[in-house]
Amino acid sequence: MTPIPILGFVAYSGTGKTTLLLKIIPLLKAKGLRIGMIKHSHHKKFDIDHPGKDSYRLREAGAEQMLVASRKRWALMVEMEEEFEEPNLEQLLYHLEQEKLDLILVEGFKHERYPKIEVHRPSLERPLIFPEDQAVIAIASDEPLTITTDLPRLDMNQPEQIVAFIEEQILQPAK
């Protein structure tokens, strides 16, 4: 898939994947790691620019690819026809400048095969993903699980614990 270590965070919507990543990423960054991120959206149409902005107006006028750049960042928006299939993770990884990264984190893409941490909140009463997905390598939960598993269990309220797991299981084997 990629020479750069990749790790996903998967769960049902509303479980707290983004909230957890917002705690983990700064901790990884503080260790000097360069992090790439790919996030899946279930919304067919989403905008990263806003109505009234030049880039939005140019894209709405018919530009199929819109690249906006400044000294600090650039963003590429590509319009796809509705009948095209949703891009898979492999296609999206291609667009990252991987030579400038130490770790790629992914939020979502739970149906694809790559190493994942399942984020689970028993209070939401959603089924666990790991019994059907052999790519899940650990479970991060806010409460003890009632199901038996040999998978490592991580406390999602202790992001330092999850970062230590990432260092040991994802980053060390890659060196």
Nearest to 24 by CA among 163, 121, 117, 140: 163
Domain ranges for the chain:
6-44+86-174, 45-81
Cα–Cα distance measured from residue 40 to residue 63, given in angstroms and rounded to the nearest whole number: 23
| CATH domain 6-44+86-174 topology | Rossmann fold (3.40.50)
Rounded to two decimals, the pTM is 0.87
> 164 or 78, which is more confident?
164
Q: Could you please report the per-residue DSSP string of the chain?
A: --SS-EEEEE--TTSSHHHHHHHHHHHHHHTT--EEEEE--S-SS--SS-TTSHHHHHHHTT-SEEEEE-SS-EEEEE---TTSPPPPHHHHHTTS-GGG-SEEEEE--TTS-S-EEEEE-GGG-PPPSGGG-TTEEEEEESS--SS--SS-EEETT-HHHHHHHHIIIIIHHH-
Nearest to 120 by CA among 102, 89, 146: 146
Q: Report whether pLDDT(64) > 60.
A: yes
- Mean pLDDT, the chain, rounded, equals 88
Per-residue confidence (pLDDT) for residue 115, from 0 to 100: 97
pLDDT digits (tens, 9 = 90+) for 88-139: 899 889 888 899 999 999 998 888 999 999 999 999 999 999 999 999 999 9
